[in-house]
């Protein structure tokens, strides 16, 4: 009975793998199968990010990646210069009319007094390069002379007696 009970007890403790060949295949499957499952899951998750061929979004993104870095704009140098009032109304009034972001209000002699002491050249330099919350005005829609005219216009309304800058004389090569 001891022999029979020993064999019976030994069989109760064995697993589903009975041979060495089954052990090798089970070992391989236990490593390879999870790898393929992970690869499949990664493909499934990332498939939502892939774009269909011919999609206009990919064409747009390609166009954005290869766009020109800069452009050259040729302006009409012969156009008449704007007056200080025209430049003020077009560009400066948005802040200076209401005193936004610490800008001296248009016509406020108290606010313009210390600035007028800088002279027109100082005011023009501040306008062209920017000062405080005011961004640089140079290189925009108006020429430096037009910005200077606007500075003179605002300062004059604040108590200054600046003369509006004149257009530069044409160069010798322009006269021929």
- pLDDT score recorded for residue 50: 63
Higher-confidence position of 9 and 85? 85
Residue 39: which pLDDT band, with cuts at 50, 70 and 90? very high
Higher-confidence position of 53 and 102? 102
Helix ranges restricted to H, the chain: 2-12, 20-46, 56-65, 84-87, 93-96, 109-116, 119-129, 144-157, 172-175
- pLDDT score recorded for residue 68: 78
C-alpha closest to that of 137 among 99, 103, 174: 103
What does the pLDDT average to over 64-80? 74
Contact 91, 107 (CB under 8 A): no
Give tens-digit pLDDT for 86-132: 887 877 877 887 777 777 877 777 777 788 787 878 877 878 777 77
Indicate yes or no: pTM above 0.75.
no
Alpha carbon distances (Å) from 2 to 10, 16, 102: 12, 25, 104
Contact 128, 138 (CB under 8 A): yes
d(CA 150, CA 124): 9
84-157 classified as CATH 1.10.760.10: yes
Higher-confidence position of 22 and 86? 22
C-alpha closest to that of 170 among 82, 74, 75, 81: 81
């Amino acid at each position: 009975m001891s022999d029979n009970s020993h064999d019976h007890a030994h069989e109760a403790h064995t697993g589903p793998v009975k041979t060495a060949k089954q052990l090798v295949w089970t070992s391989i499957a236990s490593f390879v199968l999870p790898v393929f499952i992970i690869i499949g899951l990664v493909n499934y998750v990332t498939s939502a990010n892939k774009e269909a061929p011919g999609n206009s979004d990919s064409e747009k993104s390609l166009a954005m990646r290869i766009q020109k870095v800069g452009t050259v704009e040729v302006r009409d140098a012969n156009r008449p210069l704007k007056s200080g009032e025209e430049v003020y109304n077009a560009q400066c009034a948005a802040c200076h009319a209401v005193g936004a972001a610490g800008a001296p209000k248009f016509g406020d002699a108290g606010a313009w007094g210390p600035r007028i002491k800088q002279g027109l050249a100082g005011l023009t330099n501040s306008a062209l390069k920017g000062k405080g919350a005011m961004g640089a005005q140079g290189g925009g829609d108006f020429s430096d002379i037009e910005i200077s005219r606007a500075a003179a216009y605002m300062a004059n309304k604040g108590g200054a007696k600046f003369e509006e800058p004149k257009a530069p004389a044409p160069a010798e090569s322009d006269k021929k």
